[in-house]
Amino acid sequence: MEKKKVFLLCVLFAVFLSTSGQKDNTKKMVIIVDPGHGGIDSGAVGTNGLKEKDLTLRLARAIEFYNKTLWNNRYIIFFTRYRDTLISLRHRTQLAKAIQPALFVSLHCNHADNPKAAGLEVYLSKGSIPKLHIGMAKEMDTYLQEHLGYRSRGVKRANFQVLRDNRKVCPALLLELGFLSHWDEARHLESNENINALGLAILMGIKKIMK
């Protein structure tokens, strides 16, 4: 499994490097990356003590790093938080309303009472949303499955505030990137190498859905 992740990272680097020198004359898209939780809200805590709030911020930084270094800031990326601080859900969505981004991506990890629960989930808001947004969620789900070997638990609908409040603002996805209550997935997410591979894959997934 580890060899597969290393190989994936090398492949994704090659893809980025092969296109990083291309000139982009189009207007840059603005993306908001929302690292879930923060401050006194640690989110889920893994079997290994890994805190969701720390993991989501590390993932956001990896996305930003590769956007800058491998693609010369293809996207303008804003975070809803840049350090270990508690930002209300209302303020997170107010940022989106103010900036009007092309995409809002909220990063999370799961937890369940069942220690065998595992896999990836991609969430969309309940209620009426454009079919395009549903297609984007399905594409992101498929991309992460194919390139990271995640078992998918499917694209789902939920009434999460960061999704609900963004329904009329922009496409909004909430990614549950594995279960911290699952021993293997929690251990996998300890590694900086795996965090980097996941961050890069999310960025590549964004490129795929933002056509």
Domain residue spans of the chain? 33-209
- 11-15, long-range: CB within 8 Å, 24+ apart, which pairs? 12/147, 12/197, 12/200, 12/201, 12/204, 13/70, 13/200, 15/204
CB within 8 A of 59, min separation 6: which ones?
35, 107, 177, 195, 198, 199, 202
153 pLDDT exceeds 90? yes
Q: Which fold has domain 33-209?
A: Aminopeptidase (3.40.630)
194 pLDDT exceeds 90? yes
Report yes or no: 56 and 107 within 8 Å, Cβ to Cβ. Answer: yes
170 pLDDT exceeds 80? yes
174 pLDDT exceeds 50? yes
Pairwise CA distance, residues 138 & 56, whole Å: 21
Cβ atoms < 10 Å from Cβ of 100: 10
Q: Which residue has the tokens 């065998």?
A: 116
Mean pLDDT of the residues in the chain: 90
- Residue 109 to residues 37, 70, 83, 204: CA-CA distances in angstroms? 10, 26, 18, 19
**27 in helix, strand or coil?**
coil
Of 148, 157, 58, nearest in space to 109 by CA: 58
Statement: the pTM of the whole predicted model exceeds 0.85: yes
pLDDT digits (tens, 9 = 90+) for 91-144: 999 999 999 999 999 999 999 999 999 999 999 999 999 999 999 999 999 999
10 pLDDT exceeds 60? no
Structure tokens at 68: 């800058």
Write the DSSP string, 160-197.
-HHHHTTTTTS-EEEEEEEETTSHHHHHHTT-HHHHHH
182 pLDDT exceeds 50? yes
Pairwise CA distance, residues 190 & 2, whole Å: 13
